Chains A and B, each alone.
Chain A
Amino acid sequence: MIELENIAYNYGGGELLSEVSLELSPGGFYFLTGPSGAGKTTLIKLCYGALVPTTGQLKMFGQDRRTMERDDIAQARRRIGVVHQDCQFLNHLSVSDNIALPLMVSNRDLLAEAVNLKELTNWVGLASRAQALPPELSGGERQRAALARALIMSPDVVLADEPTGNVDWEMSQRLLRLLVELNRMGKTIMIATHDLGLIRAAKSQVQARVLRISNRRVQLAGADL
């Protein structure tokens, strides 16, 4: 689905990532860990085409990122749900409209998708907050709304960057259960986190591969995780 082959990414005159090779397979569950500033967010952004690798090859659904037209990239992003740590909402739209945003930009009929939208909003536990504006939400509610928006197009891949960064332990477990449930539905999940407790909790529920960014390279983490 998403393949990175011998990728390097330079930022601010230095090499942030080097010789990164990684393949996100269908139905896989991945954790990406490493210290702050190691390049976790950069790697997530490379995976959905928001950044262009300095060297190496990135393939999104079989297409080379370098040769993809902008419309092709937009099309590929509809198959990738992204949850950012800061969520990135349009603050003038309600939670419901923000969740439906990928449908709007794809010119899908919102009336036809209304049931799906309602079910998803219920599933993430935001039915009572659907008409609220994003600044009125708590940290956990924002993360769940961002997750719902990432899922509304029924994507093949979900990339989550520190999805539990701003929430308490109970809420992080709830979010994790949602992501595990999605993985059981066949979705590919990759979570960037420095929360080792979250990784340990996930490993008891799902077969997850843990990747660690260390010295600009991505390595498979040891059995201690």
Chain B
Amino acid sequence: MNIDWTKVTEFFAGDTQADKVVPPTGYTAWLTLFSAGAMAFLAVFVLAFSFATGKLAEHWGADLSRSSTIKISAPQDQLDSQTAAVLKVLETTPGVAGARALTDDEQRALLEPWFGPDVPVDALPIPRLIEVIESSAGFDSDGLRLRLSAEAPGATLDDHTRWRQPLIKAANRLRFFGWMSLLLIAASVGAIITLAANAALVANKQVIDVLRLVGARDTYIVHAFVRRFTLRALTGGAVGMLLASFAILLLPTPQAEGGFLTDLGFVGAQWLWPLIVPLLAGCVAFVATRIAATRILRETP
């Protein structure tokens, strides 16, 4: 598509005479400004929500799909030897990027939420846990289980399959809902601005009648209204976008223990995304006003 930049420049530079004919104030002006601003505000929040759900889904999927756990339940005197045997097996297993036995402190930290901070890990017959990190190729779980049963009879592999799948499914659904919300809010932005533009034009029907009476061509009338309404939607959209961005800035900063809500926001280049919102509002207003003005003019002889 070729863009005629001369026309674009002319559009934004405007025609002072044509600009005068559209009433500059009144409830129709506020209607367009307010609806564009309110929808832009909501759109920026939904955009942040979409990014947060996407980030969360990615987090869950990536973390869970890359790690497995081997639990060694053996008599205390065999625990260290079986742990060493398992680590040796893992070293030679294709698809394993790394493996390490959790320290007593780490195991204590895992038990702390249930038993409190003073768990006597040494005195309790607690199984040894080995964290296994998979490479991108992944390993053969069944083959590893066979080898472990031969080398360390007390070792059992838990590749998280049982509870990983529902979580990944939930994460993917969350991501889907995030993007659906974004699409819905974009459609709503379009619908609300279209309705506002239509209502404003119907309210200005008398202006259109007078302009036709004094010999204005359709292109003149359409251009005057389209320019005014597009600039109003752009302005309203920009104000809504700035307010929403400021509100997002005031949210608590992301924290490891904060979870989903503190992840609501933009990071780095993601801050460019809200800039699309007022442009979208302007484009919608441009098309909607053009269609509405042309339709109203067709009803005017």
Query: Contact residues of A with B, CB < 8 Å?
Result: 48-52, 70-71, 73-75, 77-78, 82, 84, 88-90, 92-93, 97, 101-102, 104-107, 110, 149, 153
Contacts and interface: CB of A to CB of B under 8 A. Distances in A.
B214 interface: yes
A-B complex: 5 closest residue pairs judged by Cβ atoms: A105-B216, A78-B215, A77-B215, A102-B214, A104-B17
A102 B215 contact: yes
A210 B17 CA distance: 40
Interface string B205-238: 0110111111111101000000000000000000
A77 B218 CA distance: 13
Contacts of B143: none
B21 interface: yes
B18 interface: yes
B228 to A, nearest CB: 12
A82 B20 contact: no
B20 A74 contact: no
A191 to B, nearest CB: 17
Contacts of B25: 92
Given A70-B218, A105-B220, A82 B17 contact: no
B301 A52 contact: yes
Contact of B214 (A49, A51, A149): A149
Nearest to B26: A92
A48 B21 CA distance: 22
A74 B212 contact: yes
A101 B210 CA distance: 9
Contacts of A101: 21, 210-211, 214
A106 B297 CA distance: 18
Contacts, number: 65
B259 interface: no
A114 to B, nearest CB: 13
B222 to A, nearest CB: 11
A106 B301 contact: no
Given A88-B209, A90-B207, A93-B20, A105 B214 contact: yes
Given A88-B210, A90-B207, A71 B218 contact: yes
Given A90-B207, A102-B214, 15 more contacts: A50-B301, A74-B216, A75-B215, A77-B212, A78-B214, A88-B210, A90-B21, A92-B23, A101-B214, A104-B18, A105-B215, A105-B216, A105-B220, A106-B215, A149-B214
Residue from B21, B23, B212, B213 whose CB has the most chain A CB atoms within 10 Å: B213
B258 interface: no
Interface in B10-67: 17-18, 20-21, 23-25
Residue from B20, B207, B210, B212 whose CB has the most chain A CB atoms within 10 Å: B210
B218 A88 contact: no
Contacts of B210: 88-90, 101
A88 B301 CA distance: 16
A131 to B, nearest CB: 14
Categorize the interface residue count of chain B: 20 to 34
A149 B210 CA distance: 11
Given A90-B207, A92-B24, A104-B17, A50 B217 contact: no
Nearest to B17: A104
A110 B213 contact: no
Contacts of A88: 206, 209-210, 213
Contacts of B220: 105, 107
B213 A77 contact: yes
A164 B211 CA distance: 23
Given A50-B301, A104-B18, A82 B23 contact: no
Contacts of A89: 210
Interface in B263-301: 297, 301
Contacts of B218: 70-71, 74
A88 B210 CA distance: 6
Contacts of A97: 20
19 contacts: A48-B213, A50-B212, A51-B301, A71-B217, A73-B301, A74-B212, A74-B215, A77-B214, A77-B215, A78-B215, A84-B213, A90-B23, A90-B210, A92-B23, A101-B211, A105-B211, A105-B217, A107-B220, A110-B17
A70 B217 CA distance: 7
A70 B301 CA distance: 8
Contacts of B301: 49-52, 73
A110 B164 CA distance: 75
A78 B21 CA distance: 17
